[in-house]
Chains A and B, each alone.
Chain A
Amino acid sequence: MIRALHKYTGLLASILLLVLALSGVALSVIPAWDKLQTPALSESGLSVGELAARIATHYPGVEQIKRAPSGKITAYFYADNEPGAVVVDPATGQGVSDYSFSPVVRWIKDLHRSLLLGDGGRLTMAAAAAALFLLSASGVSLIARRMGGWRKALAPARGPFASRMHVDAGRLSIPGLILTSLTALYMALGSFELLPQDTPQPVFPAAVSGETGLPTSEMLALGEVPVSQLRSLTFPYVGDATDVFTLSTNSGKGYIDQGTGEMLAWDSAGIWQKIYEFIYLLHTGEGAWLWGLVLGLLVLGTAVLATTGIFMWWLARRARPALPKGVAANKADTIILVGSEGGSTWGFAGTLMEGLMACGHRVHTAPMSRFTPEKYSNARQIIVLAATYGDGKPPASAKGFIDKVNALQQAPAARLAVLGFGDRQFPAYCAFAEQVVALAKEKGWQSLLPMDTVNCQSPQDFSRWGYDLGQALGHDLELSHLAMQQHTHRLKLVSRRDFGLELQTPTAILRFALPRTGLLARLGGRGWKRFGAGDLLGVIPETSNVARLYSLASGTRDGFVEICVRKHSHGLCSGQLFNLAVGDEISAFIRPNPSFAPAKNRKPVILIGAGTGIGPLAGFVRANHRQRPMRLYFGIRHPAADFLYGQEIGQWQREGKLENARIAASRLQQAAYVQDILRLDATHVAEQVKNGAQILVCGGRDMAAGVLQALHEILAPHGLEPARLKAQGRYLEDVY
């Protein structure tokens, strides 16, 4: 609900918000610019009367003196029947420059307030301000949900680049945006005259002295008022003895006799007027130039938010293919229920539908929130594809599912299969799917096959589960899911180094040449992306179109594409890769993986890996040109067999790219695993982490679990907790 409100309001208002924000940013520098242009007021006690007298000596035809909130004093006068206006130096009363209101500023202001469209445009912009407030308020609650609670709302954001930018820009600018949208709405109420008005209205005196000619410097009523209080002073009409001086100050407005210099009538500014002026200052920064600049910077965030917001929507949309046409709920033998937050799970649902329909199933697909078991009269199986939002909350399209299942008297007859989608970096990986499984068990809902998970939209995970599902249904089922249309490139193998043949664990470091792509292809977004170590190489094996992902051990700067591959006994892709000879080619693409890379700072880095998990870690060290402290803990089987990057590790240490490397070998007589060497180094590791070190772990799932346990033991005595480090983005895992 909140998410839909945020999304659609944002999409509808985005263009208007961009106009509002960019014009607002342009206007925000004006108070500072004015301040720079304004001659300073050096005499603190200078009275309005004295100032007016100084100005009158230079401009005898002066009609009005105005003081802007920036302190700029402008005199309007007639000379030779021609109106003129100058910015005045209060010290002399002499004009320092001609004054005219800039048509550019006027245009931007009009654009900002009304799109240059008068009252209709004003209403539109007021609606945009209301949308901005709605977006900010809903954004706050979405951030809290995404980060897993209000207390974690300021933790580092994770996920794809655009959405991290969106969250970060939001967290920075939301306070400013709430303030600026509310003040804008208040001012809009004012311009549609919906606010109580109490502008000072002194009653014009019934009688004046009738005398004229008293110099302003001798007028008592003007002598008391310091220039810093002045808003405007209007001179009487020339030759009209019945006219008066009109004085406006910060505290009110009054009429002064031009013959006696006495205040004839005075009215103080009311509370509504003062409130309005304060809100006007908050919104415009007029008279508070520094605040204006700060506000401008915050509002600039709107431009970032609008752009990244639209980009996120576009990505989610692109990831959601049109679903194949299914059948009605009561006719289907297979029901697919989708719990999706961003929309990508729908893509998998589409692939699953196609696969099942090709096998002759009649399939009905619906969001989990529309779970209606009474309609599933012909269903043999119900398949739940459930993503998890934030800290284990149900995703948007699964609202109410748990309650509906809870309310069931009896579990549905159709058997249940649950597939969880998530990202292993989040502590609550696939927590919602697990919740569904637990509830089903409690209700006695018969299971079709055990729950499985798909990490980071991995096509392999999905394909593997598809195989299991096919087994359970008694037929073959191949699910080849392409999350997005990938433009593949041909990569040519330039060298390979083989390891582990002696231990029947053939492993190789494969190095490919960078593919050449034309400028046109690159501009069209079909070029070979820039990449770094830790990003993923998607390899499409022949005879299948399911891509396999490998962690990259090199970056664009290295000038080659390098991966570590271990041959699996039945692995289609690893087998093909392993049989490559120098000069052979593969089809591949880059998938960015920004969530597994050292943070961009100078803090120490602890790299932990085993087997082919060394790949991205070696890449990080190779790219460590700035020589930040990096330590490596590397688990192998035998130094003579599978010591990947054995030569380079020594060289990197000599070059200062790697501070220290500790190796654990499991097939030596004194068998050691990587968690063992971590424990040996416990004091040092704890100290590094206390100094802000970041930990990156890459390798098999069992190793990662062992490392987590070891680190827990090492850090607990120091009051540190791996889970907390994970939440702070200081403990990253790339696990397979």
Chain B
Amino acid sequence: MKKILTALALTTALVMPGTVMARNVTLTGILKNYGGDGAYLAVYITNANGSYVGTLWLAGGKSKYYNSLSHWYRATGGATSGVTAASVGSGRSFQITFDIADALIDSGYQIRIDASVENFRDAPSDIIIPLTSESFGTANSGRRYIRSVFLQ
């Protein structure tokens, strides 16, 4: 379990300490058995227009491959806020926790995950999960490398 604390630049945008209620969220993802090297993943949030808001988590050690996470990369230029982990192997799962302001839920915000695997096709926005009350407690399935993602 990877616990992410409020060191995120993102949190300042999403959480206003003291004034607004925040919700503690656990995101659990499972990858498909695609049979390749470890997947690079970018978990980030977009607003109602689909524009990038902030990065929650990044998996993958070598920054020169970040441009394969193409949607995330073109919004950020590959700049990370320091929350990175090793790439996630085929068939493996990952878990992150973060705080999110109640105000962002049911306001059109989305959690997106870009995925890429060496020698395989890139999967920008492999999964898009709307940040709605209904999304919590249900499994959302991905398109290419992500089998499912569960929010709680």
Contact of A78 among B63, B64, B120, B143 (CB under 8 A): B143
Bound: A97/B77 CA distance, A? 36
List B contacts of A237 (CB < 8 A).
71, 124-125
Instruction: Name the interface residues of B96-149: CB closer than 8 Å to any CB of A.
Output: 119-122, 124-125, 143-144
Q: Please tell me if A688 contacts chain B, counting CB pairs below 8 Å.
A: no
Contact assessment for A85 and B143 in the assembled complex, using a CB-CB cutoff below 8 Å:
no
Q: Please tell me if A201 contacts chain B, counting CB pairs below 8 Å.
A: yes
The interface on chain A, measured as residues whose beta carbon lies within 8 A of the other chain's beta carbons, has a size of 29
Q: Please tell me if A199 contacts chain B, counting CB pairs below 8 Å.
A: yes
Instruction: Name the interface residues of A70-116: CB closer than 8 Å to any CB of B.
Output: 76, 78, 81, 83, 85, 101, 103, 106, 109-110
Contact assessment for B75 and A204 in the assembled complex, using a CB-CB cutoff below 8 Å:
yes
Contact assessment for A201 and B77 in the assembled complex, using a CB-CB cutoff below 8 Å:
yes
Contact assessment for A242 and B50 in the assembled complex, using a CB-CB cutoff below 8 Å:
yes
Instruction: Name the interface residues of A203-239: CB closer than 8 Å to any CB of B.
Output: 204, 234, 237
Contact of A101 among B36, B67, B74 (CB under 8 A): B36
List B contacts of A246 (CB < 8 A).
70, 74
Known pairs A85-B121, A243-B50; list 17 more (Cβ under 8 Å). Answer: A66-B121, A76-B121, A83-B121, A83-B143, A83-B144, A101-B119, A103-B35, A106-B119, A110-B37, A191-B64, A193-B62, A199-B64, A199-B67, A201-B77, A234-B124, A237-B71, A242-B50
Instruction: Name the interface residues of B38-92: CB closer than 8 Å to any CB of A.
Output: 49-51, 61-64, 67, 70-71, 74-75, 77
List B contacts of A119 (CB < 8 A).
61
Contact assessment for A191 and B62 in the assembled complex, using a CB-CB cutoff below 8 Å:
yes
Bound: A110/B119 CA distance, A? 11
Contact assessment for B62 and A106 in the assembled complex, using a CB-CB cutoff below 8 Å:
no
The A interface is mostly helix, strand or loop, or mixed, namely mixed
Across chains A and B, the number of contacting residue pairs, with CB separation under 8 Å, is 49
Which of chain A's residues has its CB closest to B117's CB?
A: A101
Q: Please tell me if A64 contacts chain B, counting CB pairs below 8 Å.
A: yes
Which of chain B's residues has its CB closest to A199's CB?
A: B67
Contact of B36 among A76, A106, A191, A240 (CB under 8 A): A106
Bound: A66/B119 CA distance, A? 12
Within the complex, the shortest CB–CB distance from A320 to chain B, in Å, comes to: 48
A106-B36, A246-B70 are known contacts. Are A101 and B50 too (CB-CB below 8 A)? no
List B contacts of A78 (CB < 8 A).
143
Bound: A689/B119 CA distance, A? 60
Contact assessment for A101 and B120 in the assembled complex, using a CB-CB cutoff below 8 Å:
yes
List B contacts of A83 (CB < 8 A).
121, 143-144
Bound: A191/B61 CA distance, A? 11
Bound: A76/B124 CA distance, A? 13
List A contacts of B51 (CB < 8 A).
242
Which of chain B's residues has its CB closest to A240's CB?
A: B50
Which of chain A's residues has its CB closest to B119's CB?
A: A101
Q: Please tell me if A372 contacts chain B, counting CB pairs below 8 Å.
A: no
* 3 A-B pairs closest in CB distance: A204-B74, A76-B121, A101-B119
Chain A 165-207 per-residue mask, 1 if CB under 8 angstroms from chain B, else 0: 0000000000000000000000000110100010101101000
A64-B121, A234-B70, A242-B49 are known contacts. Are A193 and B64 too (CB-CB below 8 A)? yes
